[in-house]
Amino acid sequence: METDPTGPNNNNPIRDHAQCGEQKEGNLSLGNNKSTEDPNAPLKLKTHEYFSKLETLCVDTVLGKIDPQALLEQAKQQCPSELDVLAQHVEKGFTQALKEKIKEISDENGLLTRQLEEQKQDISSKDKEIESLEESKRTLTTRKKDLKTKLNEERNNSRKLENQIEILKKEVKNLKKERSNLASQVQEAEKNCKNLHSQLDEKNHTIVDLNKQVKDLNHKVMVMQPSNEIIELLKTATHSRTLQLEKDVKELRKQTQEDEKQIKKLNKEALDNEKQIENLKKDMTFKENKFNNALKQKDLDHQNELKNKQNTHEWEINNLKTKHEKLMKEKNEEIETMIKDFNMKKEALLQEKKVFEKKIEDLEGDLMLARAQNDPALTMNDFSGSTPQMIANNYNDLRDLLSKFVSDIGDQYKEALNKELPENIIESLEDDLFNMIFKTETVNNMKEIASKDVKDAKEIPKVLKNQDKNQKYVKGLKEEINKMIMKLPEVNSKMIKCLEKSLNEICQETLNLYGGMIGNSKMEFVWPQVGDYFNPFEQEAHNAVKHVVIDMILHPSLMYPSSKTVFVRAKVIVKERKTR
Higher-pLDDT residue of 351, 119: 351
* Sheet with 549-555, edge to edge strand ranges: 539-541, 570-575, 549-555
Q: Is the pLDDT of residue 106 over 70?
A: yes
Phi, then psi, of 570 in degrees rounded to 5: -70, 150
Note every long-range contact of 298-302, with CB atoms under 8 Å and residues 24 or more positions apart, other chains counting.
298/154, 299/154, 299/158, 302/151, 302/154
Q: Is the dihedral of CA 135, 136, 139, 145 positive or negative?
A: negative
Please, what is the average pLDDT of the chain?
A: 73
Q: What is the reported pLDDT for 83?
A: 55
What percent of the chain clears pLDDT 70, i.e. is strictly above it? 71
Of 123, 293, 261, 277, the closest CA to residue 196 belongs to 261
Is residue 526 a contact partner of residue 561, using CB atoms and an 8 Å limit?
Answer: yes
pLDDT tens digits along 511-568? 888 877 777 767 788 888 887 777 777 777 766 545 567 888 888 888 887 777 788 8
Residue 170 pLDDT level (bands cut at 50, 70, 90): confident
Is residue 95 a contact partner of residue 55, using CB atoms and an 8 Å limit?
Answer: no
Paired strand residues for 572: 541, 553
Q: Do strands 570-575 and 539-541 pair parallel, antiparallel, or not at all (unpaired)?
A: parallel
Residue 2 pLDDT level (bands cut at 50, 70, 90): very low
Q: What is the reported pLDDT for 155?
A: 80
CA distance 396 to 402: 10
pLDDT mean over 241-270: 79
CA distance 16 to 29: 8
Q: Which has the minimum average pLDDT: 104-108, 218-222, 257-261, 466-470? A: 466-470
pLDDT mean over 124-134: 80
CA distance 274 to 41: 151
What percent of the chain clears pLDDT 90, i.e. is strictly above it? 0
Neighbours of 356 (CB within 10 A): 19
Q: Is the pLDDT of residue 372 over 60?
A: no
Q: What is the reported pLDDT for 54?
A: 60
Is residue 270 a contact partner of residue 182, using CB atoms and an 8 Å limit?
Answer: yes
Q: Is the pLDDT of residue 5 over 50?
A: no
Distance of CA 438 to the CA centre of its chain: 45
pLDDT tens digits along 337-364? 888 888 888 888 888 888 888 888 777 7
Of 359, 211, 181, the closest CA to residue 277 belongs to 181
Q: Is the dihedral of CA 226, 228, 230, 234 positive or negative?
A: positive
Q: What is the reported pLDDT for 24?
A: 34
Q: Which has the minimum average pLDDT: 1-5, 65-69, 313-317, 486-490? A: 1-5
- For 130-343, which CATH class? mainly alpha
Q: What is the reported pLDDT for 16?
A: 42
Q: What is the reported pLDDT for 455?
A: 63
What is the enclosing helix (H) or strand (E) of 51?
A: helix 43-62
Is residue 556 a contact partner of residue 525, using CB atoms and an 8 Å limit?
Answer: yes
Residue 36 pLDDT level (bands cut at 50, 70, 90): very low
Paired strand residues for 553: 572
CA distance 472 to 446: 11
Paired strand residues for 526: 557
Of 252, 270, 251, the closest CA to residue 188 belongs to 270
Phi, then psi, of 551 in degrees rounded to 5: -105, -35
pLDDT tens digits along 439-481? 777 777 777 776 666 666 666 666 666 655 567 677 778 888 8
CATH homologous superfamily of 522-580: Head domain of nucleotide exchange factor GrpE (2.30.22.10)
Neighbours of 399 (CB within 10 A): 19
Paired strand residues for 560: 565
Of 434, 513, 448, the closest CA to residue 480 belongs to 434
DSSP letter at 533? B
pLDDT tens digits along 200-211? 777 778 777 777
CA distances from 221 to 209, 214, 224, 237 (A): 18, 10, 5, 14
Q: Is the pLDDT of residue 219 over 60?
A: yes
pLDDT mean over 411-418: 82
Paired strand residues for 173: none
Strongest mean pLDDT among 40-49, 96-105, 301-310: 301-310
pLDDT mean over 108-119: 80
Q: What is the reported pLDDT for 296?
A: 84
Higher-pLDDT residue of 253, 26: 253
Q: Is the pLDDT of residue 432 over 80?
A: yes
Q: Which has the minimum average pLDDT: 50-54, 186-190, 546-550? A: 50-54
